[in-house]
Amino acid sequence: MSTPVLPPLRDMLASLIAINSISSASPQLDQSNQPVIHQLATWFELLGFKVDLMPVHTAHSKKLNLIARYGEGHGGLVLAGHTDTVPCDEHLWQSNPFQLTERDNAYFGLGICDMKGFFPLILEAVKPLLSQKFQCPLIVVATADEETSMDGARALVEAQQKLGRFALIGEPTNMKPINMHKGIMMERVVIHGSSGHSSDPSLGNNALDAMYYVLGDLIQFRQQLAKQFNNPLFTVPSPTMNLGCIHGGDNPNRICGSCELAFDLRPLPGMSTENLRESIQKRLALIAEQHSIDIEFNPLFPSVEAFETPAQSPFVQFCQQLTQHEAESVAFATEAPFLNALGMDTVVLGPGDIAKAHQPDECLPLSRINPFIKILQRLIHHYCITSPNVQTT
Ligand SMILES: [Zn+2]
């Protein structure tokens, strides 16, 4: 019997693109990522990796994280990515989003750069290196639900999963190393007053009136944060707060009984989402007391912390050297803060372009594939194959 061999790179990319692994808050669109995980497990096992699957319990279906290890020992290099994609507007695509298509010197398909396409590149990179002795392990992590709740990454942190010492996430960054991004909080304020006839204000307690003070206070808090925190390495150097939508009341001649506001807040590295929430809670409590009204304050989804791996980290330095680019910040959030929370120096670095992600005709230029595979090989060589004592400090 002949030993099964890994399919060619293009076929692996095509197989993953053909599997719908959309994650969505809407149950009609949400798909389990299990078929992608099982496909990856088969390929990594073919190369001799030891594969563990971790169940991730999400709102609509059972999903999985995959942890594939090659080599023994402590430390090591983690290559991480998510297996889900965002939904797509199929009618706006020039080709079928679930069929790998090559045109204009690029591969097209949903998830090709953001970011199922990362895993076949890892397989292709590591395959010729396996004849050498690994001093430190190479660990591949494939997560569930990054595009929605980040529940896959949260599950890794909850389990305090022992992974490696350094981690690279292959999100689309145009081959530039990224060592920081802002966090994301999405919050909801609901003011409960009481309705009544508009002709006599004493017949109710107007929630819209109280919202006027809440809005003023949040805007003041925003200005305060912008004065207090500033990082010139970000395109928008201050933390931001966007008052996104507001709903309240029904008729001009009724006292508004309840009013709801949703806003997002994007903290800089060094700001904790928990502290921010506490400060806002205190400010709202004061307004509630002054206006004898109930104010409810809660997150719309669990927040993502800001992320920073210090520029002096040897891993950031090595990624800079490999790519000939200074590490930068990006405007989008990733799973990096969760990997950092597990004690790893994390860098986000991938071959795609974020401007091509989350929209019709997502693509990966063919010219990026070999240079990126070379980067992965140099990382694996440096952190897993050569002497760990010298290289991983
Ligand atoms: Zn992504």
Structure tokens at 90: 């199929």
- Residue 84 alpha carbon to ligand 1 centre in Å: 8
b/e for 73-103, b at 16 or more Cβ within 10 A? Answer: eebbbbbbbbbbbbbbeeeebeeebbebbee
Annotated active-site residue in 84, 151, 171, 308? 84
Q: Which residues lie below 8 Å from residue 197, measured CB to CB, with a gap of 6+?
A: 203, 204, 253, 254, 255
pLDDT tier, 388 (very low <50, low <70, confident <90, very high otherwise) = low
Could you write out the three-class secondary structure of 77-132? Answer: EEEEEECCECCCCHHHCCCCCCCCEEECCEEECCCCCCCCCHHHHHHHHHHHHCCC
Least confident of 28-42, 58-72, 163-177: 58-72
Q: Is the pLDDT of residue 2 over 70?
A: no
CB atoms within 10 A of CB 183: 21
CB 184 within 8 A of CB 277: no
Annotated active-site residue in 146, 147, 305, 353? 146
pLDDT tier, 57 (very low <50, low <70, confident <90, very high otherwise) = confident
- Residue 171 alpha carbon to ligand 1 centre in Å: 5
Task: Summarize the confidence of residues 373-387 as an average pLDDT.
Answer: 94
DSSP structure class, residue 291:
T
pLDDT tier, 59 (very low <50, low <70, confident <90, very high otherwise) = confident
- Residue 290 alpha carbon to ligand 1 centre in Å: 44
Least confident of 72-81, 266-275, 384-393: 384-393
Q: Which of 78, 94, 95, 92 is nearest to 14 (CA)?
A: 95
Specify the 3-state DSSP secondary structure of 329: strand
**Residue 84 a catalytic site member:** yes
Structure tokens at 93: 């695509």
Q: Is the pLDDT of residue 392 over 70?
A: no
- Residue 5 alpha carbon to ligand 1 centre in Å: 29
Q: What percent of the chain has pLDDT over 70?
A: 97
- Residue 147 alpha carbon to ligand 1 centre in Å: 7
Predicted pLDDT of residue 61: 81
**Residue 362 a catalytic site member:** no
Least confident of 73-77, 209-213, 332-336, 338-342: 73-77
pLDDT in tens, 201-233: 999 999 999 999 999 999 999 999 999 999 999
Q: Is the pLDDT of residue 102 over 90?
A: yes
Predicted pLDDT of residue 390: 45
Task: Summarize the confidence of residues 146-170 as an average pLDDT.
Answer: 95
Predicted pLDDT of residue 393: 41
User: Average pLDDT, whole number, for the chain?
Assistant: 95
CB atoms within 10 A of CB 350: 28
Q: Which of 307, 347, 377, 261 is nearest to 80 (CA)?
A: 347
